Chains A and B, each alone.
Chain A
């Protein structure tokens, strides 16, 4: 059981100091999670810490490849409401 960082990562360092297992390390071209060390924060926190601060949708995925922060989840705008929101914002 481990999370994984994808190429969406912008190397912002936010996740690294939060990891209770010290499983996250800067790497090239982007940060990586040591799969042997990552516990998905089980027993430590209710939510995986890296995925709770990561600002990039899709940058952290679980073992099945599913994004912990799927599209729309961080902007707060679900994709199906995008057009509506755009129209509302453009009317400002």
Chain B
């Protein structure tokens, strides 16, 4: 399924110095002013913007042309979202309707991305049709796309024609021997190409795609998945190389490999990096490259502010019943943006990394804790402990929180008969929460309260009905005040390494 690339050129909106060579400073400093301005309002890039602007992803691209060992194709692309998540597949028209509906209800919406559920560029017709329809109906929204890079070089002309604002490439390695440990095969020229040879093709295409995009003035972000024992030693080199080629931001993400996600790594017991290992690498790379630290690994159909997901409010049935006045919605968005910018005025446009870039500035020790949440909608702490069928487990430290896992209790039942017996009704919950310091819920009975406390898991019903992010911050503070947090700092990681 080659997309037909008309060869004609189209000028891109950025000015001439995007390809670097303007010398000095970080990758961000080298960006043309117009580009910096665009990034400034992007919730995924700018730490400040993510508190003001919302983003959404539309899941229109199901197919993929490679295999990553951390991905199970039953679920969404693990390069962009957490593993084990399934997004509802949309047709391009449905996606454009959904975008219009969300844009009418969430005027802070600034960015629409296609990140899956497979590889967007392995589905060029669907992906580009979606972008075209969105641009027609909601022309003020900025578009972005992410890819594994295999089909990227040939798609660059089209991407520029559709006026995509930025592209994310997941690049895990430059060395095909390392690649062979991550990618068992790629589909290339009508064949499945395996092992080192396949990895070599993928790496070449990624690098070529990166070069061509930068040449055309496109913003390129690079994602890398940190896989201990595979590419951990190699990623500083990747970071340097992609910076040299003109990528403007590097997002280092932890491998998530749980057996129940059914990925190759998960099933084989590949371990995930510790938070301290991830931070140490981010700090190491930050000397060379602008590093992104607040990525939440959103799902392919996420809607709303970063860290929240309101996709459940925008089901296809609901969208079908909505009447949307596009012009009025556009006016509301424009007004919302003006208000946001007024609030932000005076606040320096702190791009994500600038505050954390300097390698010489000592980073404060952080205290990480795992905290579980009983929530029916993924937004509020709104569930009775005893009614929760799954818990959301977050890793929280002073810098923020990251959703690690969704843990359905069914997964922790050792056979249904067992769970039905009264005395063991709590066993699955205790097993699911074993590694958590605290569990947040709206209410909880006395018996489970006591069992949780005995197991060293603090139950907490006092943050009921708060948004999860806010509740997590309060819970983290409470744990810190009790001295119940372990120190997790880069220095320690280096010492014990």
Per the 8 Å Cβ criterion, residues 1-47 of B in contact with A are 1
The interface residues of chain A lying within 8 Å CB-to-CB of B63 are 12-14, 16-17, 53
Give bound CA distance, A82 to B73, whole Å.
20
- Binary flags per residue of A57-92, CB closer than 8 Å to B gives 1, else 0: 000000000000000001110000000011001111
Query: Do residues A46 and B191 form an inter-chain contact, with CB atoms below 8 A?
Result: yes
Write out the residue numbers on chain B whose beta carbons fall within 8 Å of the beta carbon of A13: 62-63, 118, 123
Q: Which of B131-139, B268-276, B394-402, B440-448 contacts A (4 or more CB under 8 A)?
A: B268-276
- Are the CB atoms of B228 and A92 closer together than 8 Å? yes
Complex formed: what's the CA distance from A17 to B62 in Å? 12
Return A55 CB to nearest CB of chain B, in Å. 4
CB of A13 to closest CB in B, whole Å:
4
Residues of A within 8 A of B125 (CB): 17
- B270 and A52 form a contact (CB under 8 A): no
- 8 Å CB contact of B268 from A10, A17, A49, A86: A86
Contact B187 A52 (CB under 8 A): yes
CB distance from A61 to the nearest CB of B (A): 17
Minimum CB distance partner of B232 in chain A: A92
Assuming the contacts A12-B63, A46-B191, A74-B67, asked whether A86 and B269 have C-beta atoms less than 8 A apart, the reply is: yes
Taking each of A18, A46, A53, which has the highest tally of chain B beta carbons within 10 Å of its own beta carbon? A53
In the assembled complex, B64 has its CB within 8 A of some CB on chain A: yes
Interface string of B87-128 (1 = CB under 8 A from A): 000000000000000000000000000000010001101000
B190 contact from A16, A45, A85, A89, Cβ within 8 A: A45
Task: Determine the chain A residues whose CB is within 8 A of the CB of B192 once the complex forms.
Answer: 47, 52-53
B67-98, CB < 8 A from A: 67, 69, 73-74
Contact status of A89 and B67, CB under 8 A, knowing A10-B73, A14-B122, A52-B190: no
Q: How far is the CA of A47 from the CA of B191 in the complex (A)?
A: 7
Cβ-based interface call for B385 (8 A): no
Known contacts A12-B62, A18-B1, A86-B268; is-contact A76 B194 (Cβ 8 Å)? yes
Looking at chain A, what size class is its interface with the partner chain?
Answer: 20 to 34
Give per-residue flags for B264-283: 1 if the beta carbon is below 8 A from chain A beta carbons, else 0.
Answer: 11001111000000000000
The B interface is mostly helix, strand or loop, or mixed, namely: loop
Chain A nearest CB, measured from B73 CB (Å): 4
Question: Is B264 within 8 A of A12, CB to CB?
Answer: no
Q: How far is the CA of A39 from the CA of B63 in the complex (A)?
A: 22
B264 touching A92, Cβ below 8 Å: no
Shortest Cβ distance from A21 into chain B, in angstroms? 14
Contacts of B69 in A (CB 8 A): 75
Tally of contact residues, B, Cβ under 8 A: 30
Instruction: Give the docked Cα–Cα distance between A92 and B271 (Å).
Output: 7
CB-CB under 8 A from A14, the residues of chain B are 62-65, 118, 122, 187
Q: Look across to chain A and name the residue whose beta carbon is closest to the beta carbon of B67.
A: A55
For residue A89, which residues in chain B have a CB less than 8 angstroms away from its CB?
A: 229, 265, 268-270
Residue B184 CB within 8 A of the other chain: yes
Which one of A12, A16, A18 contacts B73 once the chains associate, using CB atoms below 8 Å?
Answer: A12
Residues in B neighbouring A17, C-beta threshold 8 A: 1, 63, 125
Contact of A55 among B73, B195, B269 (CB under 8 A): B73
Do B190 and A55 touch across chains, with their CB atoms under 8 A apart?
A: no
- B230 at the binding interface (Cβ < 8 Å): yes
Contact indicator B185/A76 (Cβ below 8 Å): yes
Q: Are B190 and A92 in contact (CB under 8 A)?
A: no
Chain B residues with Cβ below 8 Å from A76 are 184-185, 194-195
A2 interfacial contact with B, CB 8 Å = no
Q: CA A53 – CA B189 in complex, angstroms? A: 11
User: Is there an interface contact between A92 and B194, defined as CB atoms closer than 8 Å?
Assistant: no
B195 proximity list for chain A (CB < 8 A) = 76
Interface members, chain B 277-293 (any A CB < 8 Å): none
- Of chain B, the residue at the smallest CB distance from A14 is B63
Contact check, A75 vs B122: say whether CB atoms are below 8 A apart: no
Whether A92 touches B118, Cβ cut-off 8 Å, given contacts A10-B73, A46-B191, is no
Q: Beta-carbon contacts of A1-45 to B below 8 Å, as 1s and 0s?
A: 000000000111110111000000000000000000000000001
Q: Tell me the minimal C-beta distance from A6 to chain B in angstroms.
A: 15
A56 near B62 with CB under 8 A, answer no
Quick one: closest B residue to A16, CB to CB?
B63
List residues of chain B with CB under 8 Å of any chain A CB: 1, 62-65, 67, 69, 73-74, 118, 122-123, 125, 184-185, 187, 190-192, 194-195, 228-230, 264-265, 268-271
A sample of 29 cross-chain residue pairs with beta-carbon separation below 8 angstroms, ordered by A number, consists of: A13-B62, A13-B118, A14-B62, A14-B64, A14-B118, A16-B63, A17-B125, A18-B1, A46-B190, A46-B191, A47-B190, A47-B192, A52-B187, A53-B63, A55-B64, A75-B69, A75-B184, A75-B264, A86-B268, A86-B269, A89-B229, A89-B265, A89-B268, A89-B270, A90-B268, A90-B270, A90-B271, A92-B228, A92-B271
Q: Which 5 A-B pairs have the closest CB atoms?
A: A92-B229, A14-B63, A17-B1, A76-B184, A13-B62
Q: Taking A12-B63, A17-B1, A89-B270 as given, write out 10 further A-B residue pairs in contact, using a Cβ cutoff of 8 Å, ordered by the A residue number.
A: A12-B118, A14-B62, A47-B191, A47-B192, A49-B190, A53-B63, A55-B64, A86-B268, A90-B270, A92-B270
